[in-house]
Structure 1
Amino acid sequence: MGGCVGNVGGGLQTGGVGELKRYRERAAVLPGAVLWARTADGGAYRVLPDGCMDLLWIEGELVVAGPDSRAFVGRSEVGTRFAGIRFAPGTAPGFLGVPAREVLDLKVPLADLWSPGRSRWLADRIGRSADPALALEEIAGGLFDAAPDRLVSQVLRGVRRGVAVPALAGSVGLSERQLYRRCLDAFGYGPKMLDRVLRLNLALDRARRGLPLAEVAARSGYADQAHFTRDVKALTGVPPRTLLA
């Protein structure tokens, strides 16, 4: 569940196998997006930062989940239904019309960003559907036609390759300060924090495949296993072995 694979706005760690069985996801019609749905079993879940934003339908309400800079633990009542579109990092602001920095670490009713009437009409239409996730996808595909931001793609490629900030800024024709501001609008945080979040998810993906943590750290760009452990605990609240258990 690295990158954008997870739940409720980030990588999801649930309190039991039952909830995982009630979670499903697939690629959405919007480029790079993931369509997901789950029905809560009442257990706790830990949402991990992954650089993504979600448009959520939660029992009749539409909510925008901003990018997370740290994990949080939530709990849902048994039977609560969720449907969501998880946008690829940096793409949601162009679709939703809100800079990522304004919703960092927040869950905001769509009615606060769009007109209340429009938001209510969309939520009611989804709620009347036999499959809220499918209805959400159909509506989103019809509403959103924003052109991809080439800068977002360039920045993501550079960060994933480990390009230093000065060189990255130069490669996209911006000063370091301009790059930082553009990253705040697109991702919710600057390029260094974006690197930490993306690297965290890449490392956790490798750890879930059974690689030893020392090897995970080395292959994911951490100085050593202790560095990996410190960063995981800082971003998720728990050490890697607890998170992966």
Structure 2
Amino acid sequence: MYRERASRLTGAVVWTNTPSPDGQGAVLPDGCMDLLWHDGRLLVAGPDTHAHPTTGPPTVWAGVRFAPGTAPALLGVPAHELRDRRVDLADLWPAAAVRRLTARVNAVEDPVRGLEELALRRAAETAPPDPLLGRLVAALDAGRPVSATADELGLGARQLHRRSLAAFGYGPKTLARILRLRRALDLARSGLPFAETAVRTGYADQPHMARDVKQLTGRALGDLLARG
């Protein structure tokens, strides 16, 4: 069972999840990165370009999902180095520091609260995210073309691509596809017919949406909705 709530860290979400015993769950691409707790360990989930299956025994996971583009500054590592990966936090930070942080999180009855406190402390110690990244996400999430967005931000195509790789793990065109996928799933889950969902989210037509959803998630849209 999956539960989430807004975090005290601006733009972030905290969540817990116990995967289904049948092992059929998956984490879909969403443009975000997560700080994870599982079985007493701290891990990081990098940005996904495809669905990441949830496997293993049905034990509790907890996480802080950072707003798109904000995690690399907090973690001190470019997003593209973690693309489609799950790594131990000790692979990114000094092992001794991670042991102390892990013990602190494990000492809290609710690991979500411990993770949130860790994220808040880290945010207080680092510079705030580049506001340009928020403007980029907002423009692409509104369906603005990548080229027009680059012009509006005063960036050349190469500079935009380079900054996107560091912040999001992939280029702006992939980010735009993933943000469009999120919008489409939200509308389809609200009950909007698939054809109208395709129009509202900027696909050429419903078959175009169906192909893109299948490419990014490995499943048909109807199957995703049926699984919740």
Paired residue for 2:175? 194
The answer to whether the aligner puts 1:84 opposite 2:69 as a matched pair is: no
The answer to whether the aligner puts 1:161 opposite 2:142 as a matched pair is: yes
Moved segments of 4+, more than 3 Å: none
What are the residue-to-residue correspondences of 1:33-72 with 2, within 5 Å? 33-44=12-23, 45-72=25-52
Paired residue for 1:133? 112
Paired residue for 1:108? 87
Paired residue for 1:223? 204
TM-score of the superposed pair, with normalisation by structure 2: 0.93
- Count of residues paired in the alignment: 223
TM-score of the superposed pair, with normalisation by structure 1: 0.87
CA RMSD of aligned residues (A): 1.3
C-alpha deviation, 1:162, in angstroms:
2.6
The residue type paired with residue 185 of structure 2 is: L
CA shift digits 1:29-83 (9 cap, x unpaired): 11100011123453321110000000001111111100000112222313x2211
CA shift digits 1:171-198 (9 cap, x unpaired): 2222100100000111111111111000
2:222 match: secondary structure: helix
Worse overlay, 86-95 or 140-149: 140-149
Paired residue for 1:97? 76
CA contact (8 A) 2:143 2:180 kept: no
2:54 match: secondary structure: strand
Structure 2 unmatched runs, 5+: none
2:36 match: secondary structure: strand
CA contact (8 A) 2:34 2:65 kept: yes
CA distance in 1, matches of 2:108, 2:22: 26
CA contact (8 A) 1:43 1:76 kept: no
Structure 1 unmatched runs, 5+: 1-19
Pair 1:235–1:40, CA change in 2 (3 A): closer
The residue type paired with residue 101 of structure 2 is: L
